Amino acid sequence: MVWTGAGGRTELTADAIGRLTPLARVKAILGGSAGNLVEWYDWFAYAAFSLYFAKAFFPKGDQTAQLLQTAAVFAVGFLARPVGAWLMGVYADRAGRKAALMLSVLLMCAGSLIVAVVPGYRVIGAAAPAILTAARLLQGLSVGGEYGASATYMSEMAGKARRGFWSSFQFVTLIGGQLTALSVLIVLQATLSKGDLEAWGWRIPFAIGAVLAVVVFWIQNGLEETGSFRIEQARGGSGSSFAGLMSGHPREVAMVFVLSAAGGLAFYCFTTYMQKFLTNTAHFSKAAATQITAASLVIYLLVIPLFGWLGDVVGRRVLLVAAFGLGALTTWPIMTGIARATDPGVALALVCAAIVILAGYSAVNAVVKAELFPTPVRALGVALPYALGNAAFGGTAEYVALAFKQAGRESGFYLYVSAVMAAACLVALFMRDTQRHSLIRED
């Protein structure tokens, strides 16, 4: 219904907004998650193809020096993510979730298109790596903002009864983007020579990403805005700010930071770093390590919706406590077992065990964070502490792991991961179950 609030202001209620039909809900979830898939495809495409384009932008030095310079540009993009989370979170709370999703995918489109067409060092000199860095900054801002906007949009559109299940597709599409980038790499390796890949073939995945971003922008333009934001907008909400978030919700911000730090650290440990761990420590071939990693990601993608559904049945907190508690207890034996494994099947089983445990967090991480905050600051509250936690712990996971290995104390990294997951388990244990105390009031 529509009613007149204080000061004679007309306000919307949930009844006036109306319930989504099942078809409209599915359309909203697919549209909201499509951008996430493209965002993460573009993000991982840079890492997957850096071996081939490093020489084009950094011709001086040996291959290791070239890769280090491309890795530095990758790190710059990672550092831009908290800035993107802050700016886009505020924008999503003030202009709308849909508007933030569309702006985010446009930024990623621009970044990918620039990488696809920018001339190399031989043509424009030092401007080439400078432009590459600028493009990566755009992508970092985009990915940083996408998480909060998509997590908020999908959680608000999912509906109370199946909110955990539907919102889990945000992480499904994150893994899907990583697998898509890996698949494009495999296809191009099979169809192009190494020379062609280094000369021009590496531009293809970025061109694909730019085209996909345009398609997703068109899809998202036809989406509905969430009822939660429309009601808040009708009430004349002033929107979010960093000061308002920190003064009004410091406890929730701290909880999201710790949960994101542990989840991000474990994710990068058992996915992106695992491929190097399998070759560098367990001494599997690069081909075997790639196959094990890809197979485990497929399993990860398949089990996440199951845990999302389970979160609707038993509650979110149970899954978080189980995921981080079991993760803290099993990381040492799993990593030690992988390090000693000689059979790829055994290594795959151990990686999958870690992935399935982590899926308990991954499936509900978006909805838990969204349910902790009220509508006016929800997108910023979800995005900013997540990005900071990931930058501090997820983004440094590989560096910390290799530092322990170089010092001859590789098992110290296992303890490090376990300790951070134990801290997150304690946070989850003492937090309220957001399923029963959700601040998303609208169905």
Question: What is the per-residue pLDDT across 298-322, written as a single tens digit (0 to 9) for each?
Answer: 999 999 999 999 999 999 999 999 9
CATH of residue 301's domain is 1.20.1250.20
pLDDT bucket at 64, cuts 50 / 70 / 90: low
Is pLDDT above 80 for 441?
Answer: no
Residues 294 and 438 in one domain: yes
Q: At 213, which amino acid appears?
A: A
Is pLDDT above 50 for 1?
Answer: no
Q: Which pLDDT does position 434 carry in this prediction?
A: 87
pLDDT bucket at 402, cuts 50 / 70 / 90: confident
Q: Which residue has the higher pLDDT, 68 or 245?
A: 245
The residue out of 163, 192, 223 marking a domain boundary is 223
Residues 289 and 160 in one domain: no
Q: In this structure, is residue 203 part of a structural domain? A: yes
Q: Which residue has the higher pLDDT, 339 or 403?
A: 339
pLDDT bucket at 238, cuts 50 / 70 / 90: low
Q: How many domains does the chain have?
A: 2
Q: In this structure, is residue 1 part of a structural domain? A: no
Task: Quote the CA–CA distance of 171 and 393 in Å, as a whole number.
Answer: 18
Q: Which pLDDT does position 68 carry in this prediction?
A: 61
Residues 120 and 178 in one domain: yes
Say whether pTM exceeds 0.95.
no
Is pLDDT above 50 for 3?
Answer: no
Residues 170 and 280 in one domain: no
Q: Which pLDDT does position 6 carry in this prediction?
A: 46
Is pLDDT above 60 for 368?
Answer: yes
Residues 335 and 194 in one domain: no
Range of the domain at 162: 21-223
Give the mean model confidence (pLDDT) for residues 398-409: 87
